[in-house]
Structure 1
């Protein structure tokens, strides 16, 4: 039996009668960048695993190294990476027939590497399964299509539309605005179809060149895999049309930021939504989950907003929540209950930024729900009105967020203490690197005025 016989239908259809040239063996690092190696398809057919050093999880975004090695010291032991063939999907932008396959990381004893983001999410999902529950998520992806920016000293600006004018802002849900960059959207659809991904909808958001893609609900790991793949897919589609796609939380001043809203629900052993009571009402566990998010989201903001730029998105009255209030059908609250039938009842976490690693962002949000399930507390009263008038309840910078994260020992037990230790060191190292850079604002206003 050939390994190709185990491939998903979309991967088989992509290969068709062509000769498969290459397989990209990939794994997500902390920022969500694909690491790994590309191998000839003939070699992939013969290998059960390959090796990469565990130091890929000790690197900062800039490529520097954080002093986060364990008791052994800086010896860079190899991890064993094994393919998950269920994730095999096309790389439709490649010249020759190429597949991408996500791999899982294990140590020399066969135990999951605790710092691997996909393993972090799998650990949290398993905690729910141990209680007889199946988590279901649906992420929303927001991003900007911008003009090519090859000089970091220059501001990021919207891409040029097909009309010859820059993409316009404040045109939320405008189909004409989407048509301005229709060729990019067409390629996103084509690439997604080739990769076997189902898009639930594409809309224009409020920013200039800002787009939202909604994915169908499903298994958290599968959906995180799709977001991981989608980020690359979207970037490749943009490059075909001489523009960039960016998932920065706040790429353009005075424009809204980009979020990754996460919708949560949970099924019992019979496949029923545990948020729905016998008469269609809301169950106690529904409120316990909301309370868990209210109580523990501050502790995971460093995972949902992982960079200094992330905190520029949290601006009052600017399309991003800055509170922990909850309400039904109210987009000013950090925790929203969307309109739905009882069967589709779900809780939406609106705090996550699109710059977060999808595995870690979903794991962090689910971890808050899990602690809510454990604690069985009631949330605050539902908020009425504009929640921007409520108390601001989240940290406003990465340093403060990391302090709160480090103190959350119960959360570390859910995510894995070793992951929490390494993540903290890496993020603090990144922050120190940022502080070494003198900004344009500082040169403009401080050079001659202080």
Structure 2
């Protein structure tokens, strides 16, 4: 057994085992810190479980940036070879009109957003989300992100919003927003997207987490995708099961689909006549009984504990961790090397004099605050607000802090070793030059 202790000159070193891929420390450092990375070596690094979460995340993002992409719906475009091209869309926010509002359940409504000039909207990838900026009351505009819940038509996006009891913005959307109203919308973004391929697909959701995987299901049904698909959804009860009929119809259009529904309410505990509906919650044992192949790609969306549990069940079942994709709209888990975790603190306005610079909005955390030059970087401002942060080097090298830039412009105080892809920013070494909205 290996235990902690002191190492000094002359101590004997015994090799107990070799890790997968057998990359040296120098090789791994070079992949993270030097340009012109070898794609083969990068793929090897993705298979090393001993790396820290920050390094694993950096390598996943670097590998994704090297993947050739062919976006659907954009004929005539060539796939990028090394550097990802900018996603189709528009900078910052644009005005869109509420076309329809359709109740789906007592607590969920779908909002259809139309272009105001009739021009076609950029096609979104299944699983992406929109950020809306709304003026609610007398405070600064609030920014919230909602997944697209279907594939877009030529001039319409659909999002679906759950009314949270204490949610200021969701309450406004359900009680005040009307067809014909104008709202500010940022173009589709997000990396929780359905990937092309031949492997089986597992779509897992709970509650309103159904929305991004429902968009994926729409895409699969539209192309009559031949891949085996497992649709696993957990809801409170029949009345609060959003898109039940819609999903069932889409699954019937696929040649190899498996539908499994779980209801958790106490009054739903009687045996259900439909064989694909069960009572309770999915467990490691019940998932194993569904016949999910271990080479599948899984997409999981729901409350954080749900995603953690289901991700763990899938890993125990044999799925590789890099093939289990999750979506989270609250603040992302912190990656702070060398910092001991403490009790979570609710994000808040920074302590001290109020800044006089442009407004900075942290969309996931619901914080808008003026910039102050007292902070050396956007990362430092986030830390002053107790917003969970992700960093490693703090000098623009490792890309752990890479964040989607929803709107605005920044400048780098320290030039990064490599510029991040368009639409993203390294918050550890950047400051705003205009009002900024960050997906943080």
Into which bin does the TM-score normalised by the smaller protein fall?
under 0.3
Please, what TM-score do these two structures have when normalized by structure 2? 0.24
Higher helix share: 1
Structure exhibiting the larger radius of gyration computed from Cα positions: 2
Please, what TM-score do these two structures have when normalized by structure 1? 0.23
Higher strand share: 2
